[in-house]
Amino acid sequence: MSVRLYFFTPCVIGTWLVSFCCMPYVNIIQDSTILGGKPVIKGTRISVEFLLELLASGMNSTQIVSEYPSLTEVLIREALAFAATELQRTEVEWLPV
């Protein structure tokens, strides 16, 4: 079963924040039959997690696109936006050191 994921972005008119618009991540899907349900780029088996690991290792988006031709810079940015949204929704419990 595929799940459509959404992100919320502020809708601004002039300098006024009017509301939050619900916009789908059209290229990020979660399907329990693909990589155990991890968020992946639609039409691939490339997970958002893997893209973050590539970027953390020092690759830039141009290098990633040349290594993985099914990706585009737009898809990479959408994956980053998805990851940022997920981190914002995550509660962190700090443990004493």
> Is the distance from CB of 28 to CB of 79 less than 8 angstroms?
yes
Residue 21's pLDDT is 47
pTM comes to 0.69
Give the number of domains in the chain: 1
52 occurs within a structural domain: yes
Residue ranges making up the domain that contains 26: 2-10+20-89
Query: In this predicted model, what pLDDT tens digit does every residue of 69-93 receive, in sequence order?
Result: 999 999 999 999 899 888 887 776 7
79 occurs within a structural domain: yes
Average pLDDT, the chain: 80
Query: In this predicted model, what pLDDT tens digit does every residue of 1-22 receive, in sequence order?
Result: 555 554 444 444 444 444 444 5
Contacts of residue 29, defined as CB under 8 A and 6 or more positions apart, other chains included, come to 2, 3, 4, 5, 39, 40, 42
40 occurs within a structural domain: yes
Residue 3's pLDDT is 54
